[in-house]
Amino acid sequence: MDDLRLPQGDPRLDRLVAILKEMGSVLVCYSGGIDSAFVLAVAHQVLGERCVGMTAVSPSLAQFELEDAVSVARGIGARHELVDSHEIEDEAYAKNDVDRCFHCKSELYRVSAKKQIDWALAHVVNGTNLDDLGDYRPGLEAAKEAGARSPLVEAALTKADVRSLAQAIGLGIWDKPAAACLSSRLPYGTRVTRERLGQIASLEDELHKLGIRQARVRWHASSSETVTATKEAAIARIEIAKGEMHTAFDARDAIVAAGKRLGFAYVTLDLAGYRTGSHNEVLASRRSLPVLS
């Protein structure tokens, strides 16, 4: 278990503690990322058994991320529940329009609302921080409609605040790279399928095993043809933190071999490097998005 503590005297942490105390009991929508893990850790320290972390399990959550989430929650010492989420069965989600995240989060909050009642908790909370409000995030609207609260936003905490405070309280993953659901790796208009998500997750897992911490495998269709009768002619456009590009270049043969083994026709490195929401870059062009089934 992490040696967690809540040091006094930091007004940022004091604000968050006061907000959680006022809530009385919470269901934390917990993905295993640093933001929701920090909320879970502080809420557990403040509320004890009146705090429950809930992780929604679906094909859009990579197995290695799920395992990390379980491990981190165990280290925090919080009650942690895994529940099934079925957003991939929703056609509005699967067709992957620009509002995909709204439908994903709507499913999350539907599940959360039921469990909130089952577990007799006063509030559903998430890990949204102040910086998240500046990007295109339809999921924020879903949270608003569901009445979920964002204690980090209410406490006016940025991503940098979360990391520094997580380190201060002894949370071991304070410097964990940002994570996002696997569906965000598919361009808008490209259908979300279990097979594509599995292909992406497997290649990202291979990258992590090669020692690359911050990586995204962006999936692109290269043509309407197939390489074989069962595998699509897909391109893996890999985004890696600029400081780790030398590692990727040195391991390029292994990366290409892994990509080919997993069914990618081409494996490429994006020289612009890792950045969040790179598929959102197409939105500025206001072009209509083709649907690739």
Q: What is the DSSP letter of 123?
A: E
**pTM for the full model?**
0.89
**pLDDT average, residue stretch 111-137:** 94
Per residue in 16-49, pLDDT tens?
A: 999 999 999 999 999 999 999 999 999 999 999 9
Is the CB of residue 189 less than 8 Å from the CB of residue 291? Answer: yes
Show me where the domains of the chain are located.
11-169, 184-285
Cα distance between residue 291 and residue 60, in whole Å? 20
φ/ψ of 21, rounded to 5, equals: -60, -40
**CATH for 184-285?**
3.30.300
pLDDT at 278 over 70: no
Q: Do 11-169 and 184-285 show the same overall fold?
A: no
Q: Residue 227 has what pLDDT? A: 42
Q: Name the CATH code of domain 11-169 (choices 3.30.70.2190, 3.40.50.620, 3.30.930.10, 3.30.1390.20).
A: 3.40.50.620
